[in-house]
C-alpha cells in the first residue's frame, strides 16, 4: 500500500459510517506504517465495539514488532490518553505502557532534546513510576531543552549552598536558570565581584541588565572597566558585548562610537544600531552619520527595520540612500502604509523624485488620488515646521499639476491648502 492509498484509508477511519470505519480497519490489518499508529490509538475509543476490538488487536500484534517501543514514545500523548477515555480496551494500555519501560534510552533522548507537551508528559510519567534513579532524573532535568522540565532541577539547586550555585551559574547555558541562580545568590548576599563580572559579560541582555543593576548599587567603576579595552584589539563578540553594556548604561556616546569604529561585522552593527535607536540612546541622524563615516551600506530589508523606528521622513529618505541594493519606486511606496495622513502626504512629496518611468507615474497618481480621497476626514493641521509647510504645499500642488489632478480634485486641493496654511 503506497502513501496515497494509506492516506485514503486513514481518512476512512474517521467516516461517520461505522461500517466504513470497520472496512478500513480490516483492510489496514496488515499495515504497520508508522503514520497509522496514532490513528489506531484513537480508534480504541470508537463508538462501535467491533471497531475498538479491531484496533486493539492490530495494536497487540504491532506490540510484537521492534519498532513499537519507539512509536509508543513518539506518540506517548495518545498512548497516555487511552486511560482517560470512556470506551477503551483495557489490556492494550498495559501492553503499550510497558513498551515505555523497555526503551528508557529513547525516553532520555526525548527529554534532553525536545520541548513541549511530549517531553513534559514523559517526565511526569517516569517520575511518577520511578523508572529512573533520582540522580539521573536531576541530570536529565538540568540539561533538558524544555524549561518546564528544567524547573525540576532548579528547585533542587535552590536548596543548595552558595558554592554550588556559583559553580552552576558559570556552567549553565540556559538564561532562565542563570537568572534564578543569580537571584538566589543575591538573596544569600553571596554575589561577589567575580560572579558579577561573569554576568556582565553574558551574551544575554537580561543577565547583563541584572549585573549592571547590582554593580551600580555598589558604585562599580564602569569608566575604568571600559577604558581597559580601548587600546587593545578585540574580537567582534567582545565588541558586541561591551556595546550592549553601554546601551543599558546609557553610557558616554564618545566611548560608544569609539567601540563602534572597531566593529566591522554588518549583522552585529545593525543589531546594535537597531537596539540603540529603539531605546532612544541615539537618533536617526546619528545612525545616518555613523554609516556615512564608516562608509557602510546595508541591505534594504535591514534599512526598512531601522526606518520603522523613525517619524522623521526626511531622515528615512536619506537612510534609504544607504542601501547596498537598488530600491525600486514601489519598494519606497511600501513605507506609506504605516503612516498617518499627513505622513503619507509628506512621504509622497519625498519620493516623487524617484518616479521616472511612465508606469511609475501611473502608480504615483493612484496613490495621490487615494490620499486626496481622505482629505474630507481631516480636521487638524500637520505638525510640520513653519518653513516646511509652504515648501510641502508647493511641492504637493506641483505634483498635482504634473499628474493632471488639480482639475479633477479642486475641492480636495483647496481644503488641503487651508489645513496646511
Q: What is the pLDDT of residue 321?
A: 94
- The closest alpha carbon to 119, from 100, 146, 153, 81, belongs to 146
| 66-121 pLDDT, tens digit each | 899 899 999 999 888 887 775 666 678 788 888 888 889 999 999 999 999 999 99
Q: What is the pLDDT of residue 121?
A: 93
The number of residues making up the chain comes to 421
SS3 358: helix
pLDDT at 395 over 90: yes
SS3 33: coil
SS3 323: strand
Phi/psi-derived region of residue 24, left when phi > 0, alpha when psi is between -120 and 50, beta in every other case: alpha
**Residue 159 phi/psi, 5° resolution?**
-90, 0
Q: What is the pLDDT of residue 90?
A: 64
Q: What is the pLDDT of residue 157?
A: 95
Q: What is the pLDDT of residue 231?
A: 74
| 168-194 pLDDT, tens digit each | 999 999 999 999 999 999 999 999 999
pLDDT at 33 over 80: yes
Segment 391-411 shows an average pLDDT of: 92
| 278-333 pLDDT, tens digit each | 999 999 999 999 999 989 999 999 999 999 998 899 999 999 999 999 999 999 99
| 227-255 pLDDT, tens digit each | 888 777 778 888 899 999 999 999 989 88
Contact 416, 384 (CB under 8 A): no
Q: What DSSP state is assigned to residue 100?
A: H
pTM: 0.74
Q: What is the pLDDT of residue 81?
A: 84
Q: What is the pLDDT of residue 82?
A: 81
Q: What is the C-alpha to C-alpha distance for residues 21 and 3, in angstroms, rounded to an integer?
A: 19
Estimate to the nearest angstrom the gap between the alpha carbon of 272 and the chain centroid. 18
Domain ranges of the chain: 158-220, 232-322, 328-421
335, burial (CB in 10 Å: exposed 0-12, middle 13-18, buried 19+)? buried
Q: What is the pLDDT of residue 6?
A: 87
| 333-386 pLDDT, tens digit each | 999 998 999 999 999 999 999 998 999 999 999 999 999 999 999 999 998 988
Q: What is the pLDDT of residue 87?
A: 62
Q: What is the C-alpha to C-alpha distance for residues 374 and 381, in angstroms, rounded to an integer?
A: 14
364, burial (CB in 10 Å: exposed 0-12, middle 13-18, buried 19+)? buried
Estimate to the nearest angstrom the gap between the alpha carbon of 179 and the chain centroid. 20
Q: What is the C-alpha to C-alpha distance for residues 225 and 323, in angstroms, rounded to an integer?
A: 36
318 half-sphere exposure, CB direction, 13 A CA radius: 15
Amino acid at each position: 500500500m503506497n502513501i496515497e492509498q494509506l492516506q485514503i484509508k486513514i481518512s476512512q477511519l474517521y467516516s461517520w459510517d461505522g461500517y466504513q470505519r470497520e472496512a478500513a480497519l480490516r483492510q489496514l490489518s496488515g499495515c504497520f506504517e508508522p503514520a497509522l499508529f496514532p490513528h489506531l490509538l484513537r480508534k480504541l475509543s470508537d463508538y462501535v465495539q467491533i471497531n475498538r476490538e479491531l484496533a486493539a488487536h492490530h495494536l497487540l500484534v504491532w506490540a510484537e514488532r521492534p519498532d513499537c517501543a519507539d512509536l509508543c514514545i513518539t506518540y506517548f500523548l495518545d498512548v497516555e490518553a487511552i486511560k482517560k477515555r470512556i470506551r477503551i480496551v483495557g489490556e492494550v494500555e498495559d501492553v503499550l505502557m510497558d513498551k515505555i519501560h523497555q526503551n528508557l534510552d529513547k525516553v532520555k533522548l526525548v527529554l534532553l532534546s525536545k520541548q513541549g507537551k511530549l517531553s513534559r508528559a514523559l517526565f511526569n510519567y517516569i517520575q511518577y513510576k520511578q523508572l529512573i534513579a533520582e540522580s539521573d532524573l536531576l541530570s536529565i532535568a538540568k540539561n533538558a531543552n524544555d524549561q518546564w522540565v528544567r524547573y525540576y532541577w532548579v528547585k533542587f539547586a535552590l536548596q543548595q549552598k552558595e558554592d554550588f550555585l556559583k559553580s552552576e551559574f558559570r556552567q549553565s547555558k540556559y538564561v532562565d536558570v542563570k537568572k534564578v541562580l543569580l537571584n538566589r545568590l543575591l538573596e544569600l548576599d553571596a554575589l561577589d565581584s567575580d560572579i558579577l563580572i561573569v554576568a556582565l559579560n553574558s551574551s544575554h541582555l537580561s543577565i547583563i541588565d541584572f549585573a549592571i543593576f547590582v554593580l551600580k548599587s555598589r558604585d562599580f567603576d564602569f569608566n575604568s572597566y571600559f577604558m581597559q579595552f580601548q587600546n587593545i584589539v578585540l574580537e567582534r563578540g567582545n565588541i558586541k558585548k561591551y556595546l550592549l553594556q553601554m546601551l543599558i548604561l546609557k553610557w558616554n556616546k564618545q566611548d560608544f562610537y569609539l567601540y563602534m569604529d572597531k566593529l566591522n561585522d554588518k549583522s552585529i552593527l545593525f543589531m546594535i544600531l537597531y537596539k540603540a535607536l529603539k531605546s532612544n540612546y541615539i537618533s536617526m541622524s546619528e545612525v545616518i552619520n555613523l554609516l556615512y563615516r564608516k562608509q557602510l551600506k546595508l541591505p534594504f530589508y535591514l534599512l526598512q527595520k531601522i526606518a520603522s523606528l523613525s517619524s522623521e521622513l526626511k531622515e528615512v529618505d536619506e537612510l534609504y540612500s544607504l542601501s547596498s541594493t537598488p530600491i525600486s519606486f514601489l519598494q519606497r511606496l511600501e513605507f506609506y502604509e504605516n503612516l498617518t495622513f499627513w505622513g503619507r502626504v509628506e512621504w509622497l512629496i519625498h519620493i516623487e523624485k524617484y518616479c521616472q518611468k511612465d508606469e511609475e507615474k501611473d502608480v504615483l497618481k493612484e496613490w495621490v488620488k487615494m490620499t486626496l480621497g481622505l482629505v474630507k476626514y481631516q480636521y487638524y493641521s500637520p505638525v510640520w515646521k513653519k518653513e516646511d509647510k509652504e515648501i510641502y504645499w508647493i511641492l504637493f500642488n506641483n505634483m498635482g499639476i504634473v499628474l493632471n489632478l488639480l482639475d479633477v480634485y479642486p475641492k480636495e486641493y483647496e481644503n488641503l491648502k487651508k489645513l496646511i496654511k
